[in-house]
Amino acid sequence: AQSVTQLGSHVSVSEGALVLLRCNYSSSVPPYLFWYVQYPNQGLQLLLKYTTGATLVKGINGFEAEFKKSETSFHLTKPSAHMSDAAEYFCAVSVQGAQKLVFGQGTRLTINP
């Protein structure tokens, strides 16, 4: 079975600072990995995904993530935080053929002016 652990339920950074949201996964087979963002009272929006190929993936809004198999990690980063980045972020894992997403508990990102 797959699982996801997001380290830090709440992360606070200053505007313009580096954003780093941590995600570790557990999977017995090669995983597909995703980051989603959820703004208040809204559904989930896909930021980026890793399925196969290049391990550094770029997404929308300047976010990127690197798949590190040896560390079973898929951390999300953004070089410079904007106030509009304040939201809840979810890491998720699935495997080929499983057809379902397994989500972490989420990390609430707060941006300080």
Residues that bind another protein (CB under 8 A): 4, 32, 34, 36, 42-46, 49, 51, 90, 92, 96-106
Closest approach of Cβ 71 to another protein, in Å?
Answer: 21
Whichever of 10 and 18 has its CB closer to another protein, that residue is 10
Whichever of 6 and 73 has its CB closer to another protein, that residue is 6
Question: H/E/C letters for each residue in 6-53?
Answer: EECCEEEEECCCCEEEEEEEECCCCEEEEEEEECCCCCEEEEEEECCC
Whichever of 105 and 112 has its CB closer to another protein, that residue is 105
Whichever of 17 and 98 has its CB closer to another protein, that residue is 98
| Structure-token pair, residue 70 | 């040896």
Interatomic CA distance for residues 13 and 49, integer angstroms: 24
Residues 6+ apart with CB under 8 A from 59: 35, 46, 47, 48, 49, 65
Closest approach of Cβ 100 to another protein, in Å?
Answer: 4
Closest approach of Cβ 4 to another protein, in Å?
Answer: 8
Closest approach of Cβ 97 to another protein, in Å?
Answer: 6
